[in-house]
Amino acid sequence: MIKIDNKKKVFVLDGKNYSYIIYVNEAGTLQFVYYGKKVDGDDYLTSVYAKTLAPEPNGFNIDNAFNGMPSEYAFFGKGDYRAPSTLFVREDGFRASRFVYKSHEVVDGAPDFGSLPHARRGGKTLCIVLKDELSDMEISLNYTVFDDSDVIVRNAILRNCGKNKVRLNKAFSFCLELPDAQYDIMRLQGRWAQERMPEVTPIGKGTVRVDSSQGGSSHAMNPFAALLRKTCTETSGECIGVNLIYSGSFAITAEASCFGALRLQGGINDLNFEWILDGGEKFVTPQAALCYSAEGLGGMSREFADFYRNYIIDPARAYMRRPIVINNWEATYFNFNRDKLFDIIDAAAPLGIDTFVLDDGWFGKRDDDKSGLGDWFVNEKKLEGGLKGVAEHCAEKGMKFGLWFEPEMVNEDSDLYRAHPDFAIGKRGVTPSRQRNQLILDFSRKDVVDYIYDAVSKVLKSCNISYVKWDMNRFMTEFYSEKLPYERQGELAHRYILGVYDLAHRLTSAFPNVFFEGCAGGGGRFDGGMLYYFSQIWTSDDTDAFERTKIQWGTSMCYPVSAMSCHVSACPNHQTQRITPLATRGLIASLGATGYELDLTKLDDCEKEEIKRQIASYKNIDELVLRGDLYRLSSPFNSNYFCEMLVSKDKSQAYVAGERIHGVPCDLNYIIKLKGLDPNKRYTVKELGITASGKTLENAGLLLPRLPDFGAWTWNITECK
């Protein structure tokens, strides 16, 4: 709900449990007042409270734009020496700005930004237009609120209303200026096969920067940060999370000023970013989703999960039962032929697996990672009978067929590159930096995107393909497009991502019956922008059942478990060499969109029975994965137990899954207190043969079984009717 005092220009935005208040101050600038638990928009908040937030330091009066000014979108060069939200240069070189209120309107729903990922619907959107007193620039700030959510969606649109061009050097999506900096900051940092490890550090004075300049959101840092009050825990206390709905280079900064305020802002990374706005043009920044939680990190995660499922992920897919996949990558790598694939399919069908996904190596000349990318036509020499033969074999066995692509990439050893070397990003004559022997196609060019669209469409039309794994295995270097003029080269990285979105938009619209999964060398581009197009994403190339507890725990901070592709793989694990029980691997994979990634033909009967059992059990709980609330009960980072729980919205069913990390002789008692149940309902815990009230299960908890190394357990909990 949005309440506006039109006379005093006070805007009160109310979501499910929070209020967000801003107002136009005496100096005409848009100022932050309050963000937190619900309040009434009482007069004193703007007449007294807001003024103490922006104290005039003794002797200073620099147009109300000094280091203590709580700005809703910070401008540059008028006495506020902290990082601005935007920095632009006019034709005469002048770069100071001072944005004041011009107008506002409230519209139903959420703005539609075409193929740039955005909240698909909304309750209401407040749009406030600010005007620069020193140039012809205007900025529209959008705030979309939802009655059923604690997420508020923000972005900024910069408009050049003059005739002369302006060069944007920075155009962030949002700025949130909190009155104090008594927070720690959480980021999800990592590397290949170790994505999204939560790290919490104090803020201190100065700037904490969470960013990627790689041309993709990256393995190293997710476009997410959370501010945690010192009292914030998993289950209680206040935190504010921000998640950018964007897949390119990004930055989120938290800057504590000398006057004690904290400026949290973010958007497209300003490093290596420039954008020319000709007269009359506008620049739309990606959306940022902000979440206020008074119920700790768990509360924040559940709000983000609901937000993604209800407002970002394709509504036709968000709650759709997910295909249970067998993927051949770790079974065969590049070394397969038709017979080998048929054997895997034959072994999969009786186990209850419903989709076979053929991974890398089916196209062009591709027997290793040195060649073939870009040549999207089947290699019939390697795959006798082509894709059609595999698709038909799947159909005979009652299974569906899926295919791996890496549409954004090219090998120099490919027909595509030999014909069109200029299609690749980089400067001719400069040796390219290769990662995995490949280059990136210049998706800032429409002709390149068109070419790939045609090539991929042709394959998708060639036989019955119902699943696509869209991979992306390197990040950007030698940022240069042969087709962009000198002054627009700084636009490349963002234009590239817009090209990726354009292709994803066109392919997902043209093939509505194909289920798309995202991937980027594992989970190197696991973000809200990708989730807009791909309903689930390959979480990590690390499929080890212990490592996955940490990766999935971190990923769940701001993404729903149903968005995580989680596969059972072989042991010793290919990434860590660790041996874990097959039951444990199945159980950890059941806390997401489950699947398999191993050579099924090498399993003995016992192992096949175990997989059959896993799939049958998964079918009893997959509604909880799709629709339930996640409670993280015991952290693999600071305890010997990993344990998570999914609870149905009506609290009639729950699923607890856990893993003991190391077996310890004479181990101490360890009690898990369940969460999220209805205290007054009675439940049965199937595996323990007990019944108890929600109150007892939450307060007294359950004693954990004493298991060996990497042993796992489940508790299936149902309401007694």
Catalytically annotated residues: 471, 541
What is the enclosing helix (H) or strand (E) of 454? helix 446-462
Interaction with ligand GLA in 426-485: which residues (CB under 6 A)?
471, 473
Q: Measured from the CB atom, is 306 or 471 closer to ligand GLA?
A: 471
Q: Measured from the CB atom, is 174 or 404 closer to ligand GLA?
A: 404
- SS3 percent helix, strand, coil of the chain, rounded to 5, is 25, 30, 45
Alpha-carbon gap, residue 567 to 472, rounded angstroms: 19
Q: Measured from the CB atom, is 131 or 525 closer to ligand GLA?
A: 525
What is the enclosing helix (H) or strand (E) of 12? strand 10-14
Burial (CB < 10 A; 0-12, 13-18, 19+), residue 124, is: middle
CB of 359: closest distance to ligand GLA in angstroms?
5
Burial (CB < 10 A; 0-12, 13-18, 19+), residue 49, is: middle
Looking up tokens 């990434």, which residue turns up?
Answer: 575
CB of 84: closest distance to ligand GLA in angstroms?
38
SS3 state of residue 683: strand
Name the amino acid, one letter, at 137.
M
Name the amino acid, one letter, at 453.
Y
CB of 594: closest distance to ligand GLA in angstroms?
16
CB of 519: closest distance to ligand GLA in angstroms?
5
DSSP 8-state code for residue 687: G
CB of 521: closest distance to ligand GLA in angstroms?
5
CB of 436: closest distance to ligand GLA in angstroms?
8
DSSP 8-state code for residue 523: B
- Out of 538, 546, 631, 683, the only residue in the binding site for ligand GLA (CB under 6 A) is 538
Q: Measured from the CB atom, is 259 or 533 closer to ligand GLA?
A: 533
Asked if 598 is part of the footprint of ligand GLA (rule: CB under 6 A), the reply reads: no
Alpha-carbon gap, residue 374 to 420, rounded angstroms: 11
Lookup: tokens for 673: 């207190």
**Half-sphere exposure for 188 (CA within 13 Å, toward CB):** 31
Looking up tokens 């540059």, which residue turns up?
Answer: 76
Phi, psi of 656 (to 5 degrees): -110, 135
SS (H, E, C) 462-520: HCCCCEEEECCCCCCCCCCCCCCCHHHHHHHHHHHHHHHHHHHHHHHHHCCCCEEEECE
Asked if 329 is part of the footprint of ligand GLA (rule: CB under 6 A), the reply reads: yes
Contacts with ligand GLA by CB under 6 A: the residue count is 11
Asked if 532 is part of the footprint of ligand GLA (rule: CB under 6 A), the reply reads: no
CB of 520: closest distance to ligand GLA in angstroms?
7
Cis amide bond preceding 421, omega within 30: no
CB of 320: closest distance to ligand GLA in angstroms?
22
How many helices, marked H, and strands, marked E, lie in the chain? Answer: 15, 38
Asked if 521 is part of the footprint of ligand GLA (rule: CB under 6 A), the reply reads: yes
CB of 333: closest distance to ligand GLA in angstroms?
8
SS3 state of residue 132: strand
Asked if 283 is part of the footprint of ligand GLA (rule: CB under 6 A), the reply reads: no
Alpha-carbon gap, residue 59 to 49, rounded angstroms: 21
Applying CB under 6 A, which part among 46-54, 224-232, 285-293, 516-524 lies near ligand GLA? 516-524
Cis amide bond preceding 572, omega within 30: yes
- Out of 138, 238, 354, 360, the only residue in the binding site for ligand GLA (CB under 6 A) is 360
Asked if 359 is part of the footprint of ligand GLA (rule: CB under 6 A), the reply reads: yes
CB 138 within 8 A of CB 159: yes
* Neighbouring-strand partners of residue 568: 596
Q: Measured from the CB atom, is 329 or 618 closer to ligand GLA?
A: 329
Q: Measured from the CB atom, is 341 or 717 closer to ligand GLA?
A: 341
User: Which residue is at the shortest CB distance from ligand GLA?
Assistant: 360
Asked if 88 is part of the footprint of ligand GLA (rule: CB under 6 A), the reply reads: no
Asked if 541 is part of the footprint of ligand GLA (rule: CB under 6 A), the reply reads: yes
Asked if 519 is part of the footprint of ligand GLA (rule: CB under 6 A), the reply reads: yes
Q: Measured from the CB atom, is 144 or 473 closer to ligand GLA?
A: 473
Applying CB under 6 A, which part among 35-43, 169-177, 384-392, 515-523 lies near ligand GLA? 515-523
Q: Measured from the CB atom, is 35 or 470 closer to ligand GLA?
A: 470
Alpha-carbon gap, residue 674 to 646, rounded angstroms: 10
Asked if 373 is part of the footprint of ligand GLA (rule: CB under 6 A), the reply reads: no
- Out of 20, 404, 475, 641, the only residue in the binding site for ligand GLA (CB under 6 A) is 404
DSSP 8-state code for residue 615: H
Burial (CB < 10 A; 0-12, 13-18, 19+), residue 534, is: buried
CB of 598: closest distance to ligand GLA in angstroms?
13
- Out of 522, 636, 658, 694, the only residue in the binding site for ligand GLA (CB under 6 A) is 522
Alpha-carbon gap, residue 565 to 196, rounded angstroms: 15
Asked if 238 is part of the footprint of ligand GLA (rule: CB under 6 A), the reply reads: no
Applying CB under 6 A, which part among 82-90, 256-264, 318-326, 519-527 lies near ligand GLA? 519-527
Q: Measured from the CB atom, is 325 or 519 closer to ligand GLA?
A: 519
Q: Measured from the CB atom, is 473 or 536 closer to ligand GLA?
A: 473
- Please give the radius of gyration of the chain, using alpha carbons only, rounded to the nearest integer: 26
- Give residues in contact with ligand GLA (CB under 6 A): 329, 359-360, 404, 471, 473, 519, 521-522, 538, 541
